[in-house]
């Protein structure tokens, strides 16, 4: 115990997030007595998030750990900054929706802050139990957050399905971790890697079963096929800002953990899990994009779109290397910027109309040409069109897979990405080629927060698509921590 580093200064960004959550709960509790306005809670959440993100920058190029359970390095810092940016976007773009549709706003913001702490520690965990606790902190916060729209019966149903299936996934994940602990004799990533490097012939079946359960449990968190069934219902029933958060932080945190585990402790046994990852990647890319073709609700369409994106990301885990790890981090960042731009536009549209079916977007180019442009840029970026973030990040991701000896997998990804263009174009067709519904022909404007969120994110989509050099550099420095060469 004396050799462990208990320097709590290493955890200052997370302390800020937790402290902000507590402050929001207390402010909400005494809102009437203190005479606080409706913007106070989102303002506190935004300021606390900015402070946590700024504090995270102080750890650039640090190589340290807290008590040998949380790594403080460029990889953790990359996701600290990424997750705080996502949280800030969700707070700014969603506060108007929250005020109209969420009864307990204090709990809403507090849950988002606490779940972000769990997401950060998923990226920074150095041993299995810390990773599991972090997953549960993220998951339990989202179980509640998904069901916070009290006026929407689908919200309670979505929360129930999410928690029941999530409980099964957590049980599989924990059992898989226990088998890996049993075969390796430790929960520490470094000690697991050392144990597996010495050979696994004595406990081959137990290890294989542990890997299957581990991949199944994490596959649920990532929405990989065939563990994806909760995703469309949770996306459709959850409040829109939570749907945006699920599609961004929840998935990015899972891949941060997947990359840390499979590039570290499980790399010596790559032959036992690589074929599983390749199979799931193909099923996820193909299944997500084909089922998306049939959707008529924008949230369900984006749910299956995100499932397809998970398949692309799983290619980087399958072909694990320095190049694929760096490509994955670039793609995750680009995908988050694009997806949040789309969701910010959908939230702004819902605030105005209260609708979310695809047909409701008919004639949007006439009633709000700016919002139609934002959605078009986001949809084309998700499809991987040139000059947009999605094209650049997909290109290097597919290239890394092909260079890693999986040209056939990259070919499947290109075909699946081409299929996705059809259902994205269905949204664009409705906005530009169809007439607005009767009574919806007048021009309308977004709120100032709506313009800030959508404008900043859309600029990011074009910036990454045209000049992605800085993002490549940052991602490469973060991935280098994994030492895959």
Residues 159 and 144: beta-carbon distance below 8 Å? yes
Q: What's residue 485's pLDDT?
A: 46
Stated pTM of the model? 0.94
Would you give per-residue pLDDT tens digits along the chain (485 residues)? Answer: 557 888 899 999 999 999 999 999 999 888 888 777 788 999 999 999 999 999 999 999 988 889 899 999 999 999 999 999 999 999 999 989 988 888 888 999 999 999 999 999 999 999 999 999 999 999 999 999 998 887 777 888 888 888 888 999 999 999 999 999 999 989 999 999 999 988 777 777 899 999 999 999 999 999 999 988 888 988 988 899 999 999 999 999 999 999 999 998 999 999 999 999 999 999 999 999 999 999 999 999 999 999 999 999 999 999 998 899 999 999 999 999 999 999 999 999 998 888 888 999 998 999 999 999 999 999 999 999 999 999 999 999 999 999 988 999 999 999 999 999 999 999 999 999 988 876 666 788 888 888 999 999 999 999 999 998 999 999 999 999 887 64
Place of tokens 């695809």: 358
């Amino acid at each position: 115990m004396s050799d462990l580093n208990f320097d709590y200064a290493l955890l200052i960004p997370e302390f800020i997030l937790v402290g902000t959550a507590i402050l929001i709960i207390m402010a909400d509790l005494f809102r009437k007595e203190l005479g606080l306005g409706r913007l106070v809670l989102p303002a506190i959440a935004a300021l606390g998030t900015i402070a946590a993100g700024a504090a995270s920058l102080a750890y650039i190029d640090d190589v340290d750990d807290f008590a040998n359970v949380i790594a403080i390095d460029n990889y953790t810092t990359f996701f600290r900054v990424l997750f705080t940016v996502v949280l800030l976007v969700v707070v700014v773009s969603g506060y108007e929706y929250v005020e109209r549709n969420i009864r307990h706003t204090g709990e809403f913001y507090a849950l988002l802050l606490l779940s972000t702490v769990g997401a950060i520690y998923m990226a920074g965990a150095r041993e299995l139990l810390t990773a599991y606790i972090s997953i549960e902190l993220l998951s339990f916060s989202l179980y509640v957050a998904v069901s916070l729209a009290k006026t929407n019966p689908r919200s309670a149903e979505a929360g129930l399905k999410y928690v029941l299936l999530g409980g099964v996934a957590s049980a599989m994940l924990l059992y898989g971790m226990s088998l890996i602990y049993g075969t390796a004799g430790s929960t520490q990533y470094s000690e697991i890697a050392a144990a597996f490097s010495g050979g696994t012939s004595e406990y081959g079946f137990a290890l294989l079963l542990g890997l299957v359960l581990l991949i199944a449990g994490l596959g649920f968190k990532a929405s990989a096929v065939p563990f994806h069934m909760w995703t469309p219902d949770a996306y459709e029933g959850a409040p829109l800002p939570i749907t945006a958060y699920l599609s961004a932080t929840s998935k990015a945190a899972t891949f941060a953990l997947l990359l840390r585990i499979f590039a570290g402790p499980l790399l010596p046994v790559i032959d036992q899990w690589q074929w599983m990852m390749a199979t799931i990647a193909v099923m996820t890319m193909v299944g997500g994009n084909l089922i998306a073709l049939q959707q008529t609700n924008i949230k369900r369409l984006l749910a299956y779109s995100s499932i397809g994106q998970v398949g692309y990301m799983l290619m980087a885990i399958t072909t694990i290397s320095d190049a694929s790890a760096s490509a994955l981090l670039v793609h995750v960042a680009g995908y988050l910027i694009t997806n949040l731009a789309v969701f910010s536009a959908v939230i702004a549209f819902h605030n105005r109309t209260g609708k979310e079916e695809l047909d409701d977007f008919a004639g949007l180019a006439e009633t709000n040409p700016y919002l139609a442009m934002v959605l078009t840029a986001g949809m084309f970026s998700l499809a991987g069109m040139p000059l947009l973030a999605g094209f650049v990040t997909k290109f290097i991701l597919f290239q890394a897979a092909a260079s890693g000896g999986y040209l056939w997998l990259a070919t499947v990804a290109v075909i699946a990405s081409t299929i996705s263009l059809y259902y994205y174009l269905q949204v664009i067709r409705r906005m530009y080629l169809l007439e607005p519904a009767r009574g919806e022909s007048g021009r309308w404007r977004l709120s100032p927060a709506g313009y800030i969120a959508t404008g900043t994110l859309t600029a990011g989509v074009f910036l990454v698509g045209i000049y992605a050099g800085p993002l490549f550099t940052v991602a490469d420095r973060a991935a280098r921590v994994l030492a895959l060469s």
